[in-house]
Amino acid sequence: MEEEQEGTNNDLNNFLASTDIPVIFLDRLLRVKRYTPAISKIIKLISSDVEHQSIDMSQQLLDADLVADAQSVLENLAPVKKEIRINNNWYIRTALPDRTHDSRIKGVIVIYNNITHLKRAEEKLQKSEEPFRLLVANVKDYAIFTLDPEGRVETWNAGAEHMKGYKEIEIIGEYFSRFYTPEDIAAHKPEKELKTAVETGRTDEEGWRVRKDGSSFWASVLITALRDDNGVLRGFAKITRDITERKKKEKELEEKNAELERFAYTVSHDLKSPLVTVKTFLGYLEQDMRNANDSRIEQDMGYIRTAADKMAHLLDELLEMSRIGRMGNPPVNVSFSKIVEDALNAVAGSIAENGVEVKLDNAAISLYGDSQRLVEIWQNLIENAVKYIGDQKSPRIEVGAETRGEETVFFVCDNGIGIDPRYKEKIFGLFEKLDPKSEGTGLGLALIKRIIATYHGTIWVESDGLGKGACFRFTLPEAIIKLTTGENT
Amino acid sequence: MKGEPIVILLVEDDPAHAEIVRRNVETSRIANRLEHVADGQAALDYLYHRNGFSDPSVAPRPGIILLDLRLPKVDGLEVLKIVKSDPDLARIPVVILTTSAAEIDVAKAYDYHANSYLVKPVEFTKFVELMDALGYYWLAWNQKPY
């Protein structure tokens, strides 16, 4: 029995001497009983004859809390485990009661477990991940979030909250299909997208997405399947960007392009037409001069002259057309009555010639815009009205404005020949004319429509049919709204 | 060539171009009668004997229609569509005579069963040649549908 005990003691001694784990045995008075050589990292035990020294007497104790913790172990008979830092090393220090066979407490065993390398690795990991974590958390322009393999939201960043309107607390754990439109949900689009991501690694697409408040936005979405090192699906990363603005711009550009194409088409047609006339009648002219056919010569030159005039007129109007929206005068406050006055002055000749009576209503309105362009609207409409006044015995044009709902609607009405209801849309097209014999190029109303569009307004015509006169009505919201804001500032 | 003159219905809004066609048709050796209307609505009124065209002697059935595309009131393609979808009119050869060489116009015209598509040449001699060839082909060589 004693031999056995001695053997155990020897084993323990050998172990204590050889281990590089700092361990110290203290008695109930916290005096040093035994220790491992490695304890020197914690306590500088100077001489070899240190046994029975009280630990709190040591000036070289680097573990400041040790005395208090050891005492607490003795008092509470419970181990105390603590993470402590000594110099540049981290330890888990465990202090536990040292019990005899018969469960008496003979002291405290203190073991220092060096975890420095673990701590370093952890710190390093944290440091390397931090920029990414902060990046994801702080990015506002992209919704960056993750889904679990079943498609439930797992993480949520500020951008996602900003874009979709859900707070982190209310969205975590929710199935991600709620970001889709009802039509997409019905078509199982969310599931299909995850499926593609699982199969090919990623899905990207553009489409409508729905915010918490029900409003929608055009999104560019990228879903990436997240797999661990063993290839097991851990979930999905979803990056969403709101590109509604870009989409809008693209659409505007497409419309502009289409308009330009139509424009080029009509221009080439309408310029080619008089060119055919000029060239052909030059041919006839040569023939007729050879034959001295005087009446035909006269006729040929007439056609050539008309065609050339038409081209000149067309080019002038095209130039004018291209200036709208591109070149303008700075916006000013100008009264409606002043605009109409200027417009009437510009067409005074034909008004007098046709004996047209002009009546002006409700002229107290003020407008804000490019006054020259605004004048052109009324000038063209009044010119038009005079041109199509017909054989009316008492020709009359009425110019004014009225309120319809919240809108101010301007009008130029006449009691002239009127318009066949079938052509109410067509007349606003480029180069469209109803009367082939009329002198215009068919650009006048298209021009007006364009000016009105720059003020976000619309124009339409009302007529009870041929012989019943016509009323051109239009709105100029921008020219009116800007006035009120202009007054406030 | 003898017998009844062939009636040509010319649908052309440009008076100068109508005059060119008229001069060419006049010098043609094929007996014909040119009827000119200046817009798409008038063309339909002529063909359906409406609004001033009710008298068959004023608006005889044409043996051929020369149709411009960009027309006031009713567009040339619309006139073509109506003519070709009406069993009573569909057999009348319709020759498109226009300044437009735009692919879309050509394609649409054939889609609506135009019998021929001719682009007005800018050169005088070519225009005259074209009108000559058109007269021979459609009025002399071509087998009439009835």
Interface contact A436-B13, CB threshold 8 A: yes
Report which of A353, A346, A343 is spatially closest to residue A375, judged by C-alpha positions.
A343
Chain B nearest CA to A391, separation (Å):
20
Task: In whole angstroms, give the CA distance from residue A114 to residue A112.
Answer: 6
- In chain B, residues with a C-beta closer than 8 Å to the C-beta of A431 are 70
Residue B91 CA: distances (Å) to CA of A44, B65, B66, B86: 119, 11, 14, 9
State the pLDDT at residue A419: 80
Q: Which amino acid is at A274?
A: P
Put simply, whether B22 touches A (Cβ < 8 Å) is no
- Selecting from A272, A280, A436 the residue whose C-beta is nearest the C-beta of B124 gives A280
State the pLDDT at residue B72: 82
Which of A100-109, A310-319, A436-445, B76-85 shows the highest mean pLDDT? B76-85
Residue A256 CA: distances (Å) to CA of A68, A262, A429: 82, 10, 15
- In chain A, residues with a C-beta closer than 8 Å to the C-beta of B123 are 279, 283
How many beta-carbon pairs under 8 angstroms link A with B?
Answer: 67
Chain B nearest CA to A434, separation (Å):
5
Task: In whole angstroms, give the CA distance from residue A254 to residue A410.
Answer: 31
Residue B102 CA: distances (Å) to CA of A244, A261, A265: 35, 11, 8
Interface contact B99-A269, CB threshold 8 A: yes
Task: In whole angstroms, give the CA distance from residue B146 to residue B143.
Answer: 9
State the pLDDT at residue A57: 59
* Residue of A271, A273, A280, A314 to mutate for B, most B C-beta atoms under 10 A: A280
Q: Around Cβ A40, how many Cβ atoms within 10 Å?
A: 14
Please say whether the beta carbons of B62 and B9 come within 8 A: yes
Interface contact B17-A420, CB threshold 8 A: no
State the pLDDT at residue A437: 56
State the pLDDT at residue A219: 94
Q: Which amino acid is at A174?
A: E
- In chain A, residues with a C-beta closer than 8 Å to the C-beta of B11 are none
Residue A414, pLDDT above cutoff 80: yes
State the pLDDT at residue A196: 93
Residue A428, pLDDT above cutoff 70: yes
Q: Categorise residue A284: left if φ over 0, alpha if ψ from -120 to 50, beta otherwise.
A: alpha
Please say whether the beta carbons of A38 and A21 come within 8 A: yes
Chain A nearest CA to B132, separation (Å):
15
Residue A208, pLDDT above cutoff 50: yes
State the pLDDT at residue A486: 40
Interface contact A436-B16, CB threshold 8 A: no
State the pLDDT at residue A150: 93
- In chain A, residues with a C-beta closer than 8 Å to the C-beta of B120 are 276
DSSP state of A352: H
Chain B nearest CA to A421, separation (Å):
11
- Selecting from B99, B124, B128 the residue whose C-beta is nearest the C-beta of A273 gives B99
> What is the end-to-end Cα distance of chain B in Å, rounded?
17
Interface contact B15-A436, CB threshold 8 A: yes
Task: In whole angstroms, give the CA distance from residue A288 to residue A298.
Answer: 10
Q: Categorise residue A152: left if φ over 0, alpha if ψ from -120 to 50, beta otherwise.
A: beta
State the pLDDT at residue A485: 42
Interface contact B124-A273, CB threshold 8 A: no
DSSP A202-246: EEEEEEEEE-TTS-EEEEEEEEEEEE-TT--EEEEEEEEEE-HHH
In DSSP terms, which residues pair with A155 in a beta bridge? A146
Chain B nearest CA to A335, separation (Å):
37
Strands A396-404 and A357-360 come out as: parallel
- Selecting from B15, B23, B124 the residue whose C-beta is nearest the C-beta of A282 gives B124
Which tops the pLDDT comparison, A124 or A41? A124
Q: What is the pLDDT of residues A357-386, one digit of tens each?
A: 888 887 678 888 888 888 889 988 998 888
Report which of A228, A227, A210 is spatially closest to residue A218, judged by C-alpha positions.
A210
Put simply, whether B127 touches A (Cβ < 8 Å) is yes
Report which of B19, B28, B13, B23 is spatially closest to residue B139, judged by C-alpha positions.
B28
Q: What is the pLDDT of residues A45-91, one digit of tens each?
A: 765 556 666 766 555 677 878 888 888 998 988 899 999 888 888 99
Q: ∠ CA A123-A135-A145 to the nearest 5 degrees?
A: 105
Q: Please provide the average confidence, as pLDDT, over all residues in chain B.
A: 90
Q: How confident is the model at residue A325 (pLDDT cuts 50, 70, 90)?
A: low
State the pLDDT at residue A213: 93
Task: In whole angstroms, give the CA distance from residue A474 to residue A401.
Answer: 9
Residue A9, pLDDT above cutoff 80: no
Task: In whole angstroms, give the CA distance from residue A178 to residue A209.
Answer: 9
Residue A408, pLDDT above cutoff 50: yes
Which tops the pLDDT comparison, B108 or A488? B108
**What is the percent of chain A with per-residue pLDDT over 70, rounded to a whole number?**
89
Q: What is the pLDDT of residues A444-476, one digit of tens each?
A: 788 888 888 888 888 998 888 777 888 999 999
Residue A1, pLDDT above cutoff 80: no
Q: How confident is the model at residue A489 (pLDDT cuts 50, 70, 90)?
A: very low
The pTM score is 0.56
- Selecting from A279, A303, A434 the residue whose C-beta is nearest the C-beta of B73 gives A434
Q: What is the pLDDT of residues A235-280, one digit of tens each?
A: 999 999 999 999 989 988 887 888 777 777 777 777 888 999 999 9
Which tops the pLDDT comparison, A143 or A320? A143
Interface contact B16-A284, CB threshold 8 A: no
* Residue of B17, B41, B104 to mutate for A, most A C-beta atoms under 10 A: B17
> What is the end-to-end Cα distance of chain A in Å, rounded?
104
Lowest mean pLDDT among B2-6, B81-85, B90-94: B2-6
State the pLDDT at residue B87: 94
State the pLDDT at residue B3: 58
Helix or strand run (H / E) with residue B137:
none
Q: What is the pLDDT of residues B44-90, one digit of tens each?
A: 999 999 988 988 888 899 999 999 998 888 889 999 999 999 999 99
Q: How confident is the model at residue A173 (pLDDT cuts 50, 70, 90)?
A: very high
Please say whether the beta carbons of B79 and B71 come within 8 A: yes
- Selecting from A283, A303, A431 the residue whose C-beta is nearest the C-beta of B16 gives A303
Report which of B47, B51, B50, B43 is spatially closest to residue B61, judged by C-alpha positions.
B47
- In chain A, residues with a C-beta closer than 8 Å to the C-beta of B100 are 265, 269
Residue A175, pLDDT above cutoff 80: yes
Task: In whole angstroms, give the CA distance from residue A409 to residue A411.
Answer: 7
State the pLDDT at residue A47: 58
